Structures are given as structure tokens and as C-alpha cells.
Amino acid sequence: MDWEKFSHLIDELWNDHIRVMDTDQKTRTKQLIRDHAHDAAYAAWNLNKWDDFKRYTRHLDIGYERHFFSAVLEI
């Protein structure tokens, strides 16, 4: 996978989510980010983008994966 391209795409979605005023579109974009939070966090990890890694980890469902990624942040 091309982590750089994927990271760029997710960043664009994130920025669109922040700028969008339409509630329905904002909800759809937020759900899309949540659906891909695992991949976005993994891309950020591979690219050493720790602030992005932390941001996307917060959007993971609570469970093993979120706890694991949170532990990585603590190291």
C-alpha cells in the first residue's frame, strides 16, 4: 500500500470534515473517517506521523486495537 497517498487522502477527508457546515455531509464524512481509522492510524504509524496517529487512534472503536495503538503511543 502507498501509505503516503493514503495518508494524504485521509488528511483531505479530515480537513473537509472540519470545514463542512452541512450536518448530513459532516456525519457521512465522520463515519467514513471512523470506518478507515485503523488504516489511517497504521499509515500514520508507518510514516512516523505521531500526531496523526494519535488523532486517528481516538476514532477507533474501544477494544483491543484501540488499546494496542494507545499503548504504542505511550512508548
69 has pLDDT over 80: yes
Look up the pTM and report it. 0.75
Q: What is the pLDDT of residues 18-44, one digit of tens each?
A: 776 778 887 887 788 788 888 889 999
Contacts for 4-7: CB closer than 8 Å, 24+ residues apart: 4/47, 6/39, 6/40, 6/43, 7/40, 7/43, 7/44, 7/47, 7/49, 7/52
